[in-house]
Structure 1
């Protein structure tokens, strides 16, 4: 019985989120800094020669070809059915709740897309995988998203990415002592709720389309911060790295009326009172995971303190491989 396992890591974005959402990057160019982490989406496929079934406790319930289901379930089945894949069962498992600001929808689409090509025994490179995944999310599923997530997840690693009307460029950072220090300097705090990414980003996207001067000015500032934070990595300046994360968040939270809230502000304030050097909400806004950064020697103390404010506080490690097929367990 044919079995295929596909894994896509989630991502943490340090700067530039929002500058990758059209039409801004086509007009002004976007820039982001992110890293993939050791939490992700795992898809298992088994060809049992029965009607295609997709099941997930997180993203879906269960849907079988020809049995109905909601719109999202039907559209996922369509991706396979249109390619002539009508049999087997697909099981989706995620390490964190969907809609939590870590690029889980793009991780899912990357895995779904790679699985389709693996079943068909066809090849595509990581850039092609990201582009097709982006098109599925944007055009087929109608999700508002930037180009950062599908490329971040597909390519993997610690990287600086630029988006223009001419295409996408990616500068990867090799592991070194400073990157290792950063890896030991951060953890995530869950706000307790998730959100639909499109809802969080819709206000910004609409203002950008209208060429709202205030919004464009803020996005240009976020773009500049991305270049500066890239330079802080190259110069191995931890204090500057932390400062720029904070500065970026102060701008980011003004891009929409629902980007931040009292719960998020309280989590960040408590983390800083315990000694954190930086804090920001990940993703489009309103709910999900807050990134906490501190000096490595203070991390354990701050992390333990934050468990009093969230039931889900997790350390993270960096992932350097991106979306890939893995061996069965």
Structure 2
């Protein structure tokens, strides 16, 4: 039996520049981190050697790959030439559609588990590259590359996307004291709504491709990602919160699907209560509100957002890993 895990992620700046329609024209970059919330995949030999047994939000018992309904599971098993007689189960700390890159975390955890099931090792870059191939090239999902690399590598990273398709992951190294301060000053609140990532991202991609002003906005978001990386390395975390707010103002201007009146009210209430800045995690439209707020103001922010569910923000430092093998 193999138990594999991969973390979810929070993107601070540069989101959208990891999509091919942007980085093929101009190099992109994001500042993001992996968080201590995970997608887990269990792979085990199945008693019936003629069946694929798959368990996620539903259960499948299939004779052939073509009979498998779950697209990502089907194509991952096909990619790794997995024969019947296998059982794959999936669970996660947080549901999909919440802006934390759950689909890519699942992809990375699944691919790692399939390698481990055959007693093979895959590097973090290899896991990310295969997850990108699976989701973007094979399944034609309208998504970028940042989630896969964040899930595979873990930690706090600055990730560059080159016009030739290459990806460069640079860990952002802070002192233990500054890392702890940053971690304690970030809050995550679930807005109560989940969204269809494909719809939101497809609209953003179309906007970038057809509206030069929107493309230039993403260009400024990339520049901000570089600025925020440098801010973190300088240790001026208050300025980091202000930059997070500027980035959200840029992001929300891309399309009307990114935010709505309810989300705007939550964000404005958080800022009025003491949060310096924030954004919606992921493509937008719902999911988690990410806030930067000094500890001495957090009680008031929690009171202002008391109707929302908060989850603890902690960095993941390991990335994709095999948690158990027997």
Residue in structure 2 matched with residue 252 of structure 1 by the alignment: 251
Residue in structure 2 matched with residue 18 of structure 1 by the alignment: 16
Residue in structure 2 matched with residue 31 of structure 1 by the alignment: 29
Residue in structure 1 matched with residue 224 of structure 2 by the alignment: 225
Q: Deviation string for 1:201-248 (max 9, x for gaps)?
A: 1112123334x2111110111011001101100111112101111001
Give me the CA root mean square deviation.
2.0
**TM-score where L is the length of structure 2:** 0.93
For the 8 Å contact 1:54–1:77, the answer to whether it is kept is no
Residue in structure 2 matched with residue 62 of structure 1 by the alignment: 59
The gaps in structure 2 that reach 5 residues or longer are none
Deviation at residue 42 of structure 1 after TM alignment = 0.8
Deviation at residue 67 of structure 1 after TM alignment = 8.4
Report runs of 4+ in structure 1 exceeding 6 Å deviation. 67-71
For the 8 Å contact 2:97–2:287, the answer to whether it is kept is yes
Q: Which stretch has the larger CA shift, 163-172 or 34-43?
A: 163-172
Deviation at residue 49 of structure 1 after TM alignment = 3.0
Residue in structure 1 matched with residue 302 of structure 2 by the alignment: 303
For the 8 Å contact 2:2–2:43, the answer to whether it is kept is yes
Deviation at residue 254 of structure 1 after TM alignment = 1.2
Deviation at residue 298 of structure 1 after TM alignment = 2.3
Q: Residues 279, 226 of structure 1: CA spacing in aligned structure 2 closer, same or farther, 3 A cutoff?
A: same
Residue in structure 1 matched with residue 323 of structure 2 by the alignment: 326
Residue in structure 2 matched with residue 105 of structure 1 by the alignment: 103
Residue 291 of structure 1 aligns to a residue whose secondary structure is strand
Q: Within 5 Å, which residues of 2 pair with 1:275-286? A: 275-286=274-285
For the 8 Å contact 1:72–1:141, the answer to whether it is kept is no
For the 8 Å contact 2:62–2:68, the answer to whether it is kept is no
Q: Which stretch has the larger CA shift, 237-246 or 138-147?
A: 138-147
Q: Which stretch has the larger CA shift, 71-80 or 140-149?
A: 71-80
**Structure 1 residue 314 corresponds to structure 2 residue 314:** no
**Structure 1 residue 185 corresponds to structure 2 residue 185:** yes
Deviation at residue 328 of structure 1 after TM alignment = 6.5
Residue 257 of structure 2 aligns to a residue whose secondary structure is coil
2 CA distance for matches of 1:257 and 1:80? Answer: 38
Q: Deviation string for 1:230-270 (max 9, x for gaps)?
A: 11001111121011110011010111121100111011011
Deviation at residue 153 of structure 1 after TM alignment = 0.8
Residue 5 of structure 1 aligns to a residue whose secondary structure is strand
2 CA distance for matches of 1:68 and 1:157? Answer: 35
For the 8 Å contact 1:26–1:164, the answer to whether it is kept is yes
Deviation at residue 117 of structure 1 after TM alignment = 1.3
Q: Residues 48, 13 of structure 1: CA spacing in aligned structure 2 closer, same or farther, 3 A cutoff?
A: same
Deviation at residue 121 of structure 1 after TM alignment = 2.4
**TM-score where L is the length of structure 1:** 0.92
For the 8 Å contact 1:7–1:43, the answer to whether it is kept is yes
Q: Which stretch has the larger CA shift, 91-100 or 164-173?
A: 164-173
Q: Deviation string for 1:150-179 (max 9, x for gaps)?
A: 011111101111111241112212352112
For the 8 Å contact 2:18–2:144, the answer to whether it is kept is yes
For the 8 Å contact 1:187–1:303, the answer to whether it is kept is no
Q: Which stretch has the larger CA shift, 292-301 or 236-245?
A: 292-301
Residue 32 of structure 2 aligns to a residue whose secondary structure is strand
Deviation at residue 143 of structure 1 after TM alignment = 1.4
For the 8 Å contact 2:4–2:320, the answer to whether it is kept is yes
Residue in structure 2 matched with residue 205 of structure 1 by the alignment: 205
Residue in structure 2 matched with residue 169 of structure 1 by the alignment: 168
Q: Residues 257, 124 of structure 1: CA spacing in aligned structure 2 closer, same or farther, 3 A cutoff?
A: same
Deviation at residue 116 of structure 1 after TM alignment = 1.6
Choose from 124, 132, 136 the match for 2:134. 136
Residue 91 of structure 1 aligns to a residue whose secondary structure is strand
Choose from 71, 76, 79 the match for 2:76. 79
